[in-house]
Each structure stands twice: as C-alpha cells, then as structure tokens.
Structure 1
Amino acid sequence: MFGIRKRPRDPDAPRLSRDVVVLAIIAFFVMVGFGVVIPVLPVYVRSFGAGYAEVGAVISAFALMRLVGSTFTGRLVDWLGERVILTSGIVIVAVSSALVGLAQSFGEVLILRGAGGIGSAMFTIAAMSLLLATTAPSMRGRAVGFYQGGFLLGGMAGPAIGGLLATISLRAPFFFYAAMLLVAGVIGLILLRSPSRHSRDQQHPDASIIPFRVVLADRRFQAACVAALAVGWATFGVRSALVPILVVEALGRTELWTGVAFAIAAVAQTLALAPAGYYVDKVGRRPAIIGSFAVAAVSMLAMAFVTDIWLLIALLCVYGVASAFMGTAPAAAVGDAAGARSGQPVAVFSAVSDLGAVIGPIVAGLLLDAYSYPAAFGSAFVLLLLASVVALRMPRFESARERA
C-alpha cells in the first residue's frame, strides 16, 4: 500500500532463544505471586507486634539466605544443570511461602522467609546462567529486558491482587504465591532444557573460559557489582520495606493503595524495557548505568518528602523507568566481562545484590526508628548515586567481538 514495501527480515540476524522466551513465562508466574506478597508482608509482620526494624529483618532474612545459597548454587548448576536447579528452587520457595501463611509468630515468619531465600537463589542464578548461555552477545540487553518483562507483567497484576486479597485476609496472599510458584516450576521442568557444551559453543563460537580472577579485575564487572549492591539496597530493601509503611502510616491509605502504586509503576517500567534493552545493546552499558542510577537516586530521595499518594505514584513511575535500565545494563555487563560460561560470576553478581537487600532494609528501618523517612530513603540515594559514579570508570566502547 502507498508504494511502501516491508523490509524482509534478515534470516541471519540474532534472535532470542526459545529458552529465553520460556524463562520469561516462568518469570511472569513467579512475579505474580511475589507481587501479591509485596504490599502485604510488612503489614503482616507488624500484625505480630513487630517494630520497623523487625519488618526489615524479615525482608533481610530472605535476602540473607539468598546470599548463603549463592555460595553453592553455581556448583549445583554445573553438576545438575540449570533446569533441575531452577525447578527445585521454585518448589522450595513455594513450600516455605505456604507455611508463612500458616505461621503463628514473628519467629516462624522470620525462619520460613529465610528458608525461601535459598530456593530463590537457586532459581535466580540458574535462570540467568541459562539466559547468558543461550543468548548472543549482541542480544544480551534485549534478552535480559525480555526476561525482566515477564517479571514486570506479573508485577502489574500481582500487587493489585495482593491488595485485594489483604482485604480478605493477610494470610491469603502467601497461599496464592505458593500456587503461582508451583505453576512456574512445572513449566520449567517440562519446557526448559539445560544446554550442552556443544549448544553453548554453537551460540558463542568464539567463547572461551575466562578465569574468574580476570573477571573480577574487569571494570565492567566491578561496576555491575556496585550497581547490583545499590539495586538490592534500594529496590529490594528500602522500596519494598518502607513504601508500604509510608502509604499506610504516613499517608493514611489502605494496603490496596500500595498495590495500586506498585502496579502502576510496574506498567511504566514494562513500557520502558524494550527501549532500554535496545539502548543497552546499541549505545552501551556505560551510559545506561550512569544515567539510570542518577535518576533513580533523585526519585528515591524525593519519595521521603511526599504528602500525596499521587505524587508518590509519579515518583515510583520515574524510578520504574530508571529500573528498566538498571536491571538490564549491569546484567549485560556481567555477560560481557564473563562470557557465556558465567556461573560463578553470575553467582557473585547475585550475591552482591542480596547483600544490599540484607543490609538495606535493616539499616533503613533503624534510621526510620531513630530519625525520619528522609534519613531512611537517603541511604538508598547514596548507594544509587555511587553506582552512577563508579560506572564512569567503565570502557566507553565494547570490543567488536562483544558487538558481534
């Protein structure tokens, strides 16, 4: 029509692998369940008479055991394969989550959330290892973005569902979470295949095993780890622990509004994922990290001063757009530094993020107890800005081999 001819697709152009698509589907179900718990968990913990620091401790327990799990999961992946470890991890989180819904004390919640953290580490590391093993270097940003898209699509539905379930019972979301995880586990067991060495070499014909000490000395890996620490502290720590409390206790809204706010922010982040992945692959990891972490730092600090729910939602949306780049660029940088066979570097990258998620909510909770919301959110501001500054040391351009 109108004399315009559609350009034929280049058959040799790199494409997302089948396993990346399946991983995104699994991520969707995982995040629907996790998103249901996000607006409920802090309030659920408070229902046992716990203080703000104890709320942070429960969130940190999950991250702490993820950190512990990261120390051995890389070897388990090499021994048993990505598919088995991924599925086993999901099942562990499902069982522990159902038991959290049956808990009768703060101590039980703390222990069970910690147990779930080990399963979460198994799932996360196995999934990222499989993604990097089946993705061409020039597609890493878009592959990570597509994978995260599964999480975020689930994230759009999860918090809103969690808010609705919380009006019925604070325990109901944990059973829903367990059900969604079991669905994800079945999908992984049936549809995923752990790649053989031959298939890895076909996807990365120039790949060679890079010694871990060389990866550690790579400025791209170093910047990615600082970024992971900041994300763990700010997103999985401060944001998850304090925003629900800010909504209920400072803004005087119900838990439903927390779910609505997180869902709207997830929409903004999802819409930004495709442009972010393209930008990371075509323009570079370095500018993506520098810009996104600086924007996230400012928006995070501003959340502490809001007096209106809609202003908070707007800031969460800004943070969500930045998060599309923050989640994509560092992971792609790890792949650039470590290559296709990156089990140990991925485990370290994941562990650093978990370290931030362990310390972040506890420190933020203590700062809120002792001082104020600005002090608590300010801790995240400092680390996010630090990640932006450290990224200035990254190479300005990737090599031709990494672009191939």
Structure 2
Amino acid sequence: MTTAGPGSVPPVAAAQPGLPREVYVLSVVGGCVMLGLGLVLPVLPVYAATFGAGPTQIGVLVALFALMRLAASPFCGRLGARFGERRVLVAGLLLCALSSALTAFAGSYGQLLAFRGLGGVGSVLFSVSALATLLAVAPTDRRGRASAVFEAGFLLGGICGPALGGFLALISLSAPFVAYAVLLLTAAALTSAVLRTHRTAGAETGRDVVRLPVLLRDRRYLVACLAALAQGWVLFGLRGALVPTVIVAWRHDVTWVGWAFTTSAVVQALLIVPAGRVADGAGRRPAMIVGTGVATAAITALVFVDTYAWLVVLLCVYAAGSALLGAAPAALLGDVVAGRSGSGVAVFSMCTDVGAVVGPVVVGIVAERVSVPAAFGSGAALLAVAFVASWTLTTVRPRVGQHEGVDR
C-alpha cells in the first residue's frame, strides 16, 4: 500500500484502459441467471399450489433456497481453491439447470422441496465463484467499475425476467422452469468456452490468500460485510416481503407492486455503472458513505409514507443508494483480499444470505406484533449502522499502476 503525497496527480480518465473481457463474460452469465430466476420466481408459488401447498408450505419452499445457499457457502472457498473457480462456477450453473429441469417435471410437493434445495446449492457455488473470479481479473483501480458492470448484468436480467415468465406461464406452468434450465445450460457453455483464463490482474504480487481471522480484524472487510447484511435485510425483508403487503393493503392489486419494483430497478440499472466510476474515482469511503446515507434516508422516510406515489419515489431514491452499494462493498472486498479467492469472499456472500433469511422473518414479526413503520425502522437502523461504520474508513483511491493509493 502506498500513500499519496501532496504532489500526487490522479490519472486522467482517458488514460485508463478498459475492463478485461472476463468482466463482461461474467456480467452476461449473471444476466442469464437473473433472467431465469425472474422467469420462475413469480410462477413458483402458483406452481406449488397445484401440488396442494398452502401459504406456509410455499413460504418454506421459498425460504429453503436461501437456507441451502447459506448452508453451502462455507465450502465454496475451499472448493474454488482446490478445483479452480471456473470449474466450480460451471458446476454451480449445471446444478441449477438440473434443479430447474427436475422442478418442471416434479410429481409432488416433496420433490419440489428437494429440487429447490439443490438449486440453492448450485446458486451459491455460482455466485461465490463468479465474484471471486471478478475480483481476481479486475485491476485494483477498476474494481468499482468491474463490480458495477457485473451487477448491471444481474439487474437487467432481473428486470426482463418476470414479464417473460408471465408470458411463458400462459403456455404451461412448467415452461418457465424448462426455459430457465436452457438459459443456465447456455451460460455454462459460454463460461466453459470463453472464460478460459488464468489472468489475475487484481491479485497483488507476492500476496497469498488472506485468511479469515486476518480479515475479521480488518475494518474495511467488516464494513463491507455489514453493508451486505443490511442490503440483504432490506432487499428481501423490507422490499421483497413487506412492501408488497403494504401496497395491497392500500387497495392496489399486485400489478402495482410490479410497477414499483420495475421502476426502482430501472433507476438502479441506469446508475450502477456511474456508481462504479465513483467508487474508483472518488474512493471507496465516499462511495460507501453516500450509498449507505442515501439508502438510510430513503428507508427511514418510508416509515412516514402512506401513499403509493411517495413509496415509489422513495424506492427509487433507495435504488440510487443501492447502486453505490452494488459497487463499493465488492470493490472494498477486493482491496482487502488482494484480488484472491478464499473463505473471505464466501463469508461476504453469506452476510447477504443471512439478511435474506433472517430479515423477512423478523420484519414479519415486527410488522405483525408492533407496527409496519417499526418494521421499516429495523432496516433503516441496520443501514444507519453501516453508514456510521463507513465514516471510520480511510479514503482509498486506487491509482493506475499502483495497488492502492490512500489519502488520509
């Protein structure tokens, strides 16, 4: 690590080279995965109901996917180190494809549970390996932009998926699952054919894999994990589980929920690449502060909202903060692990999954036993903690030709 002195001159943007090809490949693969998820998620509850599943059983089916991701996460780092990230990534895609194909031809609710659980394992193998590969190939001074491009693929796939899934469901409830399996097989073939690289542009020379006990003593790593936990809690607990029930309680149908989510997702997709440039140009600390600050303000304001229009506006404001939180924490993680894979990437991913599993349950209990505003407050409180923690970081502004530059 080098310290930027008073005479340090930031490189001009025009002198910065483009991103490695592998970043775009990973973005396309991620887009295929999210497009497929968007195809099946709206259909899954209806499909499960055809097997006699009630609301509780459907909830278990949805939660099982995240639980299996969480359970399999600790093994991802070791598998990647032993067999290579690309092989584990392809294996994850193939497992998800198998899960989706089997789901399309399931004969009972029990089979649905088993096949959905298999998909959760495949999903975490893919996501952890893809992020580890991204951090390895992205140069230090372009990690923010690389993370943003990677996230953009997921966002675009997520925006397009639900509409296409509804169309396919008109043909057959099993059709979206077959289409998802085909998309995953295509993504696996693309990964195997194109992602043939041992480049480690982001891996610092002479640095071994950073062990988890060392990472847990690094403030940057803890702040990145805290932001991931808060994001998982808000995205899945508040936005995914609570906001739809609030909109319906205001006597709007589920179509209004879709419009609210789509509008905010478009805002985030438009801002994600500029957010990556901010994380690289201004530094990780300013990006983290602004991202958590804007997100905290938006979720806090939801406590006082009682109209649909203002809810959509605040979801869009949150999406702006979330764009920065889609780029900055991952870039910060890459700085800490020196661009090398290991358990640190898996634990970072687990933090999002913990928020996704625990958040909906706690938010539901608080909304039912206390109030809906208090449930929104739980997410705002977590984001506020991440906001305060972000202020404790040192401003990091990577330079071209250097591993890191630090302005104190």
Report the TM-score range of the alignment, normalised by the length of the smaller protein. 0.7 to 0.9
- Provide the secondary structure at the position in 2 that maps to 1:209: coil
CA distance in 2, matches of 1:76, 1:377: 38
Could you tell me whether the CA contact under 8 Å between 1:368 and 1:376 is conserved in 2? yes
Could you tell me whether the CA contact under 8 Å between 1:129 and 1:342 is conserved in 2? yes
Give the equivalent residue in structure 2 for 1:3.
none
TM-superposed deviation, 1:349: 0.5
Q: 1:317 to 1:396 in 2, by over 3 A?
A: same
TM-superposed deviation, 1:8: 11
CA distance in 2, matches of 1:252, 1:46: 24
CA distance in 2, matches of 1:295, 1:261: 18
Could you tell me whether the CA contact under 8 Å between 1:40 and 1:163 is conserved in 2? yes
CA distance in 1, matches of 2:329, 2:58: 29
**Bigger mean CA offset, 309-318 vs 151-160:** 309-318
RMSD: 2.9
TM-superposed deviation, 1:190: 1.7
Structure 2 counterpart of 1:31, which letter? M
CA distance in 1, matches of 2:182, 2:246: 29
Q: 1:370 to 1:50 in 2, by over 3 A?
A: farther
Give the equivalent residue in structure 1 for 2:360.
361
Give the equivalent residue in structure 2 for 1:293.
292
CA distance in 1, matches of 2:218, 2:39: 38
- What aligned pairs does 1:42-57 form with structure 2 within 5 A after superposition? 50-51=54-55, 57=60
CA distance in 2, matches of 1:316, 1:270: 13
CA distance in 2, matches of 1:8, 1:164: 43
CA distance in 1, matches of 2:285, 2:90: 34
TM-superposed deviation, 1:279: 0.6
TM-superposed deviation, 1:305: 5.9
Q: 1:211 to 1:127 in 2, by over 3 A?
A: closer
- What aligned pairs does 1:93-242 form with structure 2 within 5 A after superposition? 93-102=96-105, 108-165=111-168, 172-195=175-198, 199-200=199-200, 204=203, 206-209=205-208, 211-212=210-211, 213-242=213-242
Give the equivalent residue in structure 1 for 2:8.
none
Give the equivalent residue in structure 1 for 2:4.
none
- Provide the secondary structure at the position in 1 that maps to 2:216: helix
- What aligned pairs does 1:56-71 form with structure 2 within 5 A after superposition? 57-71=60-74
**Bigger mean CA offset, 316-325 vs 91-100:** 91-100
Structure 1 counterpart of 2:239, which letter? R
CA distance in 2, matches of 1:367, 1:49: 26
TM-superposed deviation, 1:101: 4.7
Could you tell me whether the CA contact under 8 Å between 1:125 and 1:343 is conserved in 2? no
CA distance in 2, matches of 1:102, 1:255: 28
TM-superposed deviation, 1:215: 2.1
Structure 1 counterpart of 2:92, from 66, 89, 96: 89
- Provide the secondary structure at the position in 1 that maps to 2:228: helix
Aligned pair count reads 390
Structure 1 counterpart of 2:37, which letter? F
Q: 1:306 to 1:58 in 2, by over 3 A?
A: farther
Q: What is the percent sequence identity of the aligned residues?
A: 44
Structure 1 counterpart of 2:380, which letter? F
Structure 1 counterpart of 2:218, which letter? D
TM-superposed deviation, 1:250: 2.0
Could you tell me whether the CA contact under 8 Å between 1:55 and 1:241 is conserved in 2? no
Residue by residue over 1:204-245, the C-alpha shift from the partner in whole angstroms, topping out at 9 and shown as x without a partner, is 463512542322211100100111111111113432233344
TM-superposed deviation, 1:165: 4.6
Could you tell me whether the CA contact under 8 Å between 1:56 and 1:362 is conserved in 2? no
- Provide the secondary structure at the position in 2 that maps to 1:394: coil
Which 5+ residue runs of structure 1 have no aligned equivalent? 1-6
TM-superposed deviation, 1:173: 3.7
Q: 1:38 to 1:319 in 2, by over 3 A?
A: farther
- What aligned pairs does 1:314-325 form with structure 2 within 5 A after superposition? 314-325=313-324
In the superposition, the TM-score normalised over structure 2's length comes to 0.85
Could you tell me whether the CA contact under 8 Å between 1:96 and 1:115 is conserved in 2? yes
Q: 1:19 to 1:28 in 2, by over 3 A?
A: same
Could you tell me whether the CA contact under 8 Å between 1:56 and 1:241 is conserved in 2? no
Q: 1:109 to 1:288 in 2, by over 3 A?
A: farther
CA distance in 2, matches of 1:374, 1:37: 31
Give the equivalent residue in structure 2 for 1:394.
393
TM-superposed deviation, 1:104: 6.4
Structure 2 counterpart of 1:87, which letter? V
CA distance in 2, matches of 1:338, 1:146: 20
In the superposition, the TM-score normalised over structure 1's length comes to 0.85
Structure 2 counterpart of 1:156, which letter? I
Which 5+ residue runs of structure 2 have no aligned equivalent? 1-11
Could you tell me whether the CA contact under 8 Å between 1:73 and 1:122 is conserved in 2? yes
Could you tell me whether the CA contact under 8 Å between 1:163 and 1:259 is conserved in 2? no
CA distance in 2, matches of 1:193, 1:182: 17
Is 1:403 the counterpart of 2:404? The answer is yes
Could you tell me whether the CA contact under 8 Å between 1:207 and 1:339 is conserved in 2? no
Structure 2 counterpart of 1:24, which letter? S
Residue by residue over 1:361-401, the C-alpha shift from the partner in whole angstroms, topping out at 9 and shown as x without a partner, is 12223334444433333322221222111212211345764
CA distance in 2, matches of 1:54, 1:303: 30
Could you tell me whether the CA contact under 8 Å between 2:135 and 2:202 is conserved in 1? no
CA distance in 2, matches of 1:294, 1:122: 32
Structure 2 counterpart of 1:322, which letter? G
- Provide the secondary structure at the position in 1 that maps to 2:134: helix
TM-superposed deviation, 1:125: 0.9
Q: 1:384 to 1:104 in 2, by over 3 A?
A: farther
CA distance in 2, matches of 1:335, 1:15: 18
- Provide the secondary structure at the position in 2 that maps to 1:402: coil
- Provide the secondary structure at the position in 2 that maps to 1:217: coil
Structure 1 counterpart of 2:361, which letter? I
